[in-house]
Each structure stands twice: as structure tokens, then as C-alpha cells.
């Protein structure tokens, strides 16, 4: 499947992904309020493709757009036999709860909590990246359980360092509401050089692509030992070939998301991966 990215924000974007050979499709990230992209180029690619950096700042149409569009996107996906996953992001626990309601009412097959977006800044201050704080993850999962005791959701985390990963995996395992963990989102706060700004507000950005692969793969391997087998792991980070994909499956992933290679190659990437399976 695709990971939530700059090409999965609208019905038109989703139609392109739905027409591809992807096994499932992800829409989002969806927030409560509509969001404009950070000003600036947003994306920067290393000239030898070692990595990419992005700082878009979660642009999307918000509930206003997705109340009418999400049911349509679900229908389009189901007409092509593809599960539709909604990646959602809140600025408060109750916003996540509100967005879960939207996804469920629209017929989405799964909700993926984005606990890991690094690129939201306000007056020079960075929005806290939830997955780096086990206490914040617990508060959120408790709020979700309180409002929807029987729901099963997915959570997308950052490339966490070992102790944080152990704590967060413990909270997720105990919560009872998480049935899948997506590992990982981009590594936050990377810098190309002091003169290159992806967003006018700040120079720091999330790093993705091949350089992220060994880090995300290590997170997947650790999660396969930290999480019970009832929680699936979805690998994400630097997948551009069937060998990359197989490395994730061997490390314990049940499925994968692709982003940077998809940005570079377009949805033909899925055909290439399926053809070499
Ligand atoms: O929009 C972004 O800048 C962004 C998001 Br929401 C995310 O989850 N991960 C990322 O690398 N960029």
C-alpha cells in the first residue's frame, strides 16, 4: 500500500492510487480543520537518491472536505476490491476521536493514527510528536478506548530509539485497541544544509527514502519481539524494490507502505513490485 503522503490528499489523488496494483490504499493525513501546506518547496531529493527530505505540514481539506469526499473515496476503493485506510491526525485527543467517527461513518476499513508527523510548527515551536512520548500515546489510546471500547486501530510511529520504542510498544500492547503498528514515519528534524530551507518557517524536515531503511527495519525487528503476535507490523521506510520489501517481511512485517519511491516513480512502482514478486 501507499503510505499517507502528498499524493493521497484528494479524491482525484486516491483514484490514481486505487487504479494501481496496490493491495490497499491510504488516504490522508486528515485533520479536523483544513490545513494549507507550509510555504516553501516542501520536498528535496538527494542527487544520488540516498534520501529525501520533506516538510509539507499536513496539508489537507479537513472534516469540511472529507465529510463529503471520504464516502466517495471508500466506494471507489471498494469497487476495485481495495481496503481503504484513513490516516488521521489530531491536535487534541478528542480530535482523534472525532476523526475516527468520520472514518467509521464513511465506511473506511481501518483507521491509522498518525502519531509521528514532524513538520508542524507554530511561531517557531514544533508540535509535539506523540510517538516520542509513551505517556501521550497512553492518554490518546485511553481516550479512544473510552469512546469506542470495541474499535481496532492502527498506529504509525516515528523511528524511535530503543528505550522509547520499548515503552511505547508496552503501552500499545496493553491498550487492547491497536491491531497494527506502522513502522516508521520519517525521521524528524533533519537538515540538508544551513542554506536549504524546505519550508519558509524552518529549515528542519523529515528524512525518508533509502537512508531510512536500516533504521525502520531495525524498529520492525525490535517490534516483532516487543509486541504480541496479535498486533501486525506494517513496514515503511526506503522500500523501492522487491528485495527491500522482502527484508521487511523477514524482519517481521506482514505488509508494507511505500512513499518516497512512489513520489519518484509514480504508481508504476506497484506494478514493478508485483511483477517481481
Ligand atoms: O505533511 C507532512 O509534512 C508530513 C506528514 Br503529515 C507525515 O506524517 N510525515 C512526513 O514526513 N511529512
Contact 29, 89 (CB under 8 A): yes
Share the mean pLDDT of the chain.
96
Contact 54, 45 (CB under 8 A): no
Pocket test for ligand 1, best of 6, 35, 122, 185 (most atoms within 8 A of CB): 185
How confident is the model over 87-108, as pLDDT tens digits?
999 999 999 999 999 999 999 9
Mean pLDDT of 198-203: 88
Mean pLDDT of 154-170: 98
Whether the predicted pLDDT of 277 surpasses 80? no
Beta-carbon neighbour count of residue 130 at 10 Å? 25
Helices in 161-212 by DSSP H: which ranges?
Answer: 162-175
Ligand 1 atom 1 nearest Cα? 58
Residue 134 cell numbers, joined: 509513551
Contact residues for 95 (Cβ-Cβ < 8 A; gap 6+): 31, 32
Q: Which atom of ligand 1 is nearest to the CA of 38?
A: 3
Alpha carbon of 117 to ligand 1 centroid (Å): 5
Q: Which atom of ligand 1 is nearest to the CA of 120?
A: 3
Instruction: State residue 153's pLDDT score.
Output: 98
Q: Calculate helix-pair angle for 11-18, 62-79, nearest 10 degrees.
A: 20
CB within 6 Å of ligand 1 — which residues? 29, 54-58, 114, 116-119, 185-186, 206
Q: Which atom of ligand 1 is nearest to the CA of 55?
A: 3
Instruction: State residue 202's pLDDT score.
Output: 87
Alpha carbon of 142 to ligand 1 centroid (Å): 24
| DSSP secondary structure letter of residue 172 | H
Alpha carbon of 19 to ligand 1 centroid (Å): 24
Contact 117, 29 (CB under 8 A): yes
Amino acid at each position: 500500500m501507499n503510505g499517507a503522503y502528498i499524493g493521497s490528499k484528494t479524491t482525484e489523488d486516491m483514484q490514481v492510487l486505487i487504479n494501481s496494483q496496490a493491495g490497499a490504499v491510504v488516504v490522508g493525513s486528515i485533520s479536523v480543520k483544513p490545513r494549507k501546506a507550509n510555504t516553501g518547496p516542501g520536498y528535496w531529493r538527494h542527487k544520488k537518491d540516498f534520501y529525501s527530505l520533506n516538510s509539507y505540514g499536513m496539508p489537507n481539506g479537513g472534516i469540511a472536505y472529507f465529510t463529503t469526499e471520504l464516502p466517495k473515496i471508500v466506494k471507489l476503493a471498494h469497487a476495485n476490491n481495495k481496503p481503504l485506510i484513513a490516516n488521521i491526525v489530531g491536535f487534541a485527543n478528542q480530535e482523534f476521536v472525532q476523526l475516527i467517527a468520520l472514518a467509521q461513518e464513511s465506511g473506511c476499513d481501518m483507521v491509522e493514527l498518525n502519531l509521528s508527523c514532524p513538520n508542524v510548527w507554530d511561531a517557531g515551536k514544533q508540535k509535539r510528536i506523540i510517538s516520542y512520548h509513551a505517556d501521550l500515546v497512553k492518554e490518546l489510546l485511553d481516550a479512544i478506548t473510552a469512546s469506542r471500547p470495541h474499535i481496532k486501530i492502527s498506529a504509525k510511529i516515528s523511528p524511535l530509539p530503543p528505550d522509547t520504542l520499548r515503552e511505547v510498544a508496552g503501552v500499545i500492547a496493553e491498550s487492547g485497541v491497536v491491531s497494527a503498528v506502522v513502522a516508521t514515519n520519517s525521521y524528524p528534524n533533519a537538515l540538508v544544509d544551513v542554506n536549504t530551507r524546505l519550508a519558509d518557517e524552518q529549515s528542519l524536515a523529515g528524512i525518508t527514502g533509502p537512508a531510512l531503511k536500516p533504521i525502520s527495519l531495525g524498529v520492525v525487528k525490535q517490534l516483532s519481539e516487543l509486541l504480541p503476535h496479535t498486533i501486525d507490523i506494517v513496514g515503511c521506510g526506503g522500500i523501492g524494490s522487491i528485495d527491500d520489501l522482502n527484508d521487511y517481511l523477514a524482519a517481521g512485517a506482514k505488509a508494507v507502505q511505500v512513499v518516497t519511491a512512489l513520489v519518484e516513480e509514480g504508481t508504476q512502482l506497484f506494478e514493478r513490485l508485483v511483477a517481481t514478486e
